[in-house]
Structure 1
Amino acid sequence: MTAMTPARTAPDLSYLLDHTSHVLRTRMSAELAEIGLTARMHCVLVHALEEERTQAQLAELGDMDKTTMVVTVDALEKAGLAERQPSSQDRRARIIAVTEEGARIASRSQEIVDGIHRRALTTLPDGDREALLRALNHLVDGHLATPAESPRPTRRARQREQ
């Protein structure tokens, strides 16, 4: 007896979201590499510029484990884009301070990221673009706001930037 493939009863939303996310990340990685950054370096610079944040806070925002965060900050320091400094609020804590050159590069990297997103969205007709963004925001703020508990943890999604 031959097993039959189950009939699909709904669009493969997981594939659609995973594939588009993967392609966006590869394009971002390629374009950021042209200015000497990784997506993680971009993330750290931008979030460190928003307000005084510790390495642990930045790791949480960027969904990085401790080791990855240390490597990322080491690379930023080596490039002269950021430095570890004592916090102005708590002298025991160390924050990641962005240098003047780091702020300049972060501005350029944000332009790159925004351009990638803009180019992807402009391939859609205006009404579809607005509907897609509205629908994705609705999912992120509603039904898909919180991951399910799982005995086998999966890679956690990046936190939504405010």
Structure 2
Amino acid sequence: MTSMAATQPSKDLSYLLDHTSHVLRTRMSAALAEIGMTARMHCVLVHAVEEERTQAQLAEIGDMDKTTMVVTVDALEKAGLAERRPSSQDRRARIIAVTEEGARVAVQSQKIVDGVHNDAVASLPEADRKALLHALNLLVEGHLATPAESPRPARRARQSK
């Protein structure tokens, strides 16, 4: 007969994922703040610069509700990094257009994000880095791809502003 302890991870998986995610978000927030950006602003900029996207499409990509998206785009407009414009494909739709300065900042913020991600795994031996990223991708694309439906949904971790 197998004991329960033998089949469980040595630490609580939820804790490990939550803690590492929280620390990564705080480091990302601090690093992006140095150039006056937030993680949400970065997300909108890098995805809006790729192709013409509506505010709703960008909100879905960034997992933001409507109110958070409006506040984020307002901040980008105020900083001169993006602006709301009618879509070239559908005049009824509004897109988020990245300004020249916004495109420059998107490149800079992406370098910061890449640096934070690289620093996060730098303490691991190369083989462990590859294994960790491979395993996380398998979970995200497989068993943990979709949240479970629940009458009392789990609260998502609050994102730094």
TM-score, normalised by the number of residues in structure 1: 0.89
Which consecutive unaligned segments of at least 5 residues does structure 2 have? none
- Give me the whole-angstrom Cα distance separating, in 1, the residues matched to 2:18 and 2:100: 36
Which residue of structure 2 aligns with residue 20 of structure 1?
Answer: 20
- Give me the whole-angstrom Cα distance separating, in 1, the residues matched to 2:40 and 2:141: 24
Which residue of structure 2 aligns with residue 3 of structure 1?
Answer: none
Partner SS state of residue 83, structure 2: strand
Partner SS state of residue 90, structure 2: coil
The 1:38/1:51 distance shift into structure 2, 3 A limit, reads same
Which residue of structure 2 aligns with residue 146 of structure 1?
Answer: 146
Letter in 2 for 1:140: V
Letter in 2 for 1:20: T
Letter in 1 for 2:8: A
Which consecutive unaligned segments of at least 5 residues does structure 1 have? 1-6, 158-162
1:46–1:106 CA contact under 8 A, matched in 2: yes
Measured on the aligned residues, the alpha-carbon RMSD in Å equals 1.4
The 1:156/1:47 distance shift into structure 2, 3 A limit, reads farther
- Give me the whole-angstrom Cα distance separating, in 2, the residues matched to 1:56 and 1:155: 22
Partner SS state of residue 52, structure 1: coil
Letter in 2 for 1:64: M
- Residues 47-62 of structure 1: pairs in structure 2 closer than 5 A: 47-62=47-62
- Give me the whole-angstrom Cα distance separating, in 1, the residues matched to 2:154 and 2:47: 24
1:153 CA displacement? 2.1
Q: Deviations over 1:115-136 (max 9, x none)?
A: 0110111110011111111111
Which residue of structure 2 aligns with residue 29 of structure 1?
Answer: 29
Letter in 2 for 1:75: A
Percent identity, aligned pairs only, is 83
1:63–1:156 CA contact under 8 A, matched in 2: no
- Give me the whole-angstrom Cα distance separating, in 2, the residues matched to 1:155 and 1:58: 22
Partner SS state of residue 137, structure 2: helix
1:81–1:103 CA contact under 8 A, matched in 2: yes
Which residue of structure 2 aligns with residue 10 of structure 1?
Answer: 8
1:59 CA displacement? 0.7
Q: Deviations over 1:37-79 (max 9, x none)?
A: 0110000001101111111111111111111111110000000
1:155 CA displacement? 4.2
Letter in 1 for 2:146: T
Which residue of structure 1 aligns with residue 97 of structure 2?
Answer: 97
TM-score, normalised by the number of residues in structure 2: 0.89
Higher relative contact order (CA 8 A, sep 6+): 2
**Paired residues, number:** 151
